[in-house]
């Protein structure tokens, strides 16, 4: 719908109350003013600080500037990190960027602090342009900030205001959008006063991030957390107290735009075009299938070219390519083809993959994750060996013989590094990522695991890869970054390769007691990992 999307930061992307209000307290204290209640300082969130000090505490211009310096004294070290992303915001930014939109930040906060905060949350990569105020007092008003964003967009050849939308939580954001002729979506979950956004003329007001997603990307129909139209405040639920805006039903404000090009009318028109759930599901399945097919075909082509070239060289030397030599070159071809497929698939689908997590990660949880990867890999190998499932899969026997008839260094590179990189980009990054958009976590986990298993083409590897694939999807979900399942996958592969093939007593790990021990260890590690991630999620929401 929009090619350029401008975001305010405070009260729109993240909740900065603790940091901003705490730093205002610190600045006021230097003037002998004690303000113990943070709620009373909420009006400082959004507008230029100096103006707020003059407006709410009758400071002179000189006093206000001194207060701003005291504010920054604490904010530059501590306050900028006393901040939390609104639930669902990280995923929304990821999806907007993946859709091809140009994203920009237009904040009254100094640019240097904005950059630090975006990097802190791991969302800097989503924004093409970041503009804030300057520490020396220049460009503090939102109109000036938005004008600078427009200037930078124009330099990129994207200067059509009708294709731009400003998203913010205060009247200043609405006014900034109007100043350049852009559309405006206001969010009521921020820090606007009752009636502020309607009076400013916001075209649409949403009450939560899901409502914002609905307007920008489609999905839930208007009326759930967003109402489009020209109605006034009548009919909405309101609350009393310091946050009267929070929780009300939202609706469009009195737009200054007229005709069929108003944002409200454009949204109503786009809602009818939104894909059905069935359509979204099959679109996700189609993208997933395309990624798997591309990975397979690219790998096959590269491998075939390498083996053909090697066979020609051997034929010229009047030698036959067989036995260990054949397996060696087969492994070389497999490694190079995996690397090539990884590079190409990354180039095609990297915008759909989460590389930087927006979640808080408990570093301690990496320990049970690594233990789980090693234990489940050995445990599942034990199960498959003890049940003699390999008897029903001649293909697996040939593949296994080829994989382990290779130099140690090549095995480590191929199975411990390259395979996890390539397969995680496709199966967790694309397949699970697409299914997760249209299905609940358990269904997306199971379906992506089955896809990973079936891709391996033989009964033994299919069973093993399905179990491992489900765990890899869970790890991706819990950590929110593709680096986590890559690490899990690498540990699992290397542990099996080292313990079962390189150690002379590796067969001990395939006995019944050992198999039971490793499966119990897997279950315990999974439970501990789930508990640690659950506590982290609760702490982040709190």
Residues carrying an active site annotation: 8
**What does the DSSP 8-state code read for residue 413?**
I
**What does the DSSP 8-state code read for residue 192?**
P
Residues 6+ apart with CB under 8 A from 178: 184, 201, 256
* Distance between first and last Cα of the chain: 34
Instruction: Report the alpha-carbon angle 253-256-259, nearest 5.
Output: 105
Question: Which secondary structure element, helix H or strand E, spans residue 6, and what is its range?
Answer: strand 4-7
Question: Which secondary structure element, helix H or strand E, spans residue 539, and what is its range?
Answer: helix 512-541
Contact 75, 19 (CB under 8 A): yes
Comparing CA positions, the residue from 99, 71, 77 lying closest to residue 351 is 99
What gap in Å lies between CA 20 and CA 42, rounded to an integer? 8
**318, exposed or middle or buried, with CB in 10 Å at 0-12, 13-18, 19+?**
exposed
Q: Is the dihedral of CA 132, 134, 137, 138 positive or negative?
A: negative
CA torsion angle 527 353 130 73 (round to 10): 20
In the three-class reduction of DSSP (H, G, I as helix; E, B as strand; rest coil), residue 7 is classed as strand
- The helix-helix angle for 483-496 and 366-386 (nearest 10°) equals 40
CA torsion angle 95 96 99 104 (round to 10): -140
């Amino acid at each position: 719908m929009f090619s350029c999307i401008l975001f305010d930061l405070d009260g729109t992307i993240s909740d900065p109350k603790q940091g901003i209000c705490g730093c205002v307290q610190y600045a006021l204290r230097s003037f002998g003013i004690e303000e113990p209640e943070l709620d009373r300082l909420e009006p400082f969130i959004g507008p230029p600080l100096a103006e707020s000090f003059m407006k709410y505490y009758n400071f002179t211009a000189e006093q206000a500037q001194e207060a701003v310096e005291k504010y920054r004294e604490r904010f530059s070290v501590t306050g900028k990190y006393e901040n939390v992303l609104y639930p669902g915001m990280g995923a929304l930014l990821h999806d907007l960027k993946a859709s091809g939109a140009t994203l920009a930040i237009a904040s009254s906060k100094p640019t240097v602090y904005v950059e630090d905060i975006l990097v802190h949350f791991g969302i800097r990569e989503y924004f093409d342009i970041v503009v804030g105020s300057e520490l020396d007092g220049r460009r503090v008003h939102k109109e000036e900030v938005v004008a600078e964003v427009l200037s930078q967009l124009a330099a990129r050849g994207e200067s059509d205001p009708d294709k731009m939308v400003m998203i913010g939580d205060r009247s200043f954001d609405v006014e900034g959008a109007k100043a350049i002729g852009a559309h405006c979506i206001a969010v009521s979950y921020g820090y606007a006063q009752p009636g502020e956004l309607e009076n400013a003329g916001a075209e649409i007001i949403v009450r939560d991030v899901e409502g914002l997603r609905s307007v920008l990307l489609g999905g839930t129909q208007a009326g759930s957390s967003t109402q489009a139209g020209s109605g006034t405040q009548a009919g909405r639920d309101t609350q009393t107290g310091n946050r009267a805006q929070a929780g009300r039903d939202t609706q469009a404000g009195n737009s200054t735009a007229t005709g069929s090009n108003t944002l409200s009318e454009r949204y109503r028109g786009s809602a009818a075009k939104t894909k059905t759930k069935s359509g979204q599901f099959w679109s996700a399945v189609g993208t997933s299938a395309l990624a798997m097919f591309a990975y397979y075909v690219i790998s096959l082509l590269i491998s075939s070219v390498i083996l053909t070239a090697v066979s020609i060289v051997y034929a010229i030397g009047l030698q036959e390519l067989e036995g260990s030599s054949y397996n060696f070159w087969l492994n070389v071809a497999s490694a190079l083809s995996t690397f090539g497929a990884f590079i190409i698939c990354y180039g095609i689908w990297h915008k759909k993959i989460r590389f930087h997590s927006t979640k808080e990660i408990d570093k301690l949880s990496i320990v049970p994750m690594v233990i789980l990867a090693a234990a489940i890999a050995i445990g599942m190998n034990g199960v498959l060996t003890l049940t003699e499932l390999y008897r029903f899969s001649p293909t697996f026997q040939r593949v296994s013989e080829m994989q382990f008839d290779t130099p140690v260094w090549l095995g480590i590179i191929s199975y411990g590094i390259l395979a996890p990189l390539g397969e995680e980009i496709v199966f967790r990054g694309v397949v699970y990522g697409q299914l997760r958009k249209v299905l609940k976590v358990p269904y997306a986990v199971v379906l992506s695991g089955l896809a990973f298993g079936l891709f391996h083409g033989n009964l033994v590897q299919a069973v093993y890869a399905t179990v491992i694939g489900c765990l890899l999807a869970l790890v991706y979900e819990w950590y929110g970054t593709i680096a986590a399942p890559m690490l899990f996958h690498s540990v699992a592969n290397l542990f099996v390769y080292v313990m079962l093939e390189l150690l002379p007593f590796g067969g001990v790990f395939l006995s019944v007691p050992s198999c039971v021990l490793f499966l119990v260890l897997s279950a315990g590690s999974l439970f501990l990992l789930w508990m640690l991630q659950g506590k982290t999620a609760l702490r982040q929401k709190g």
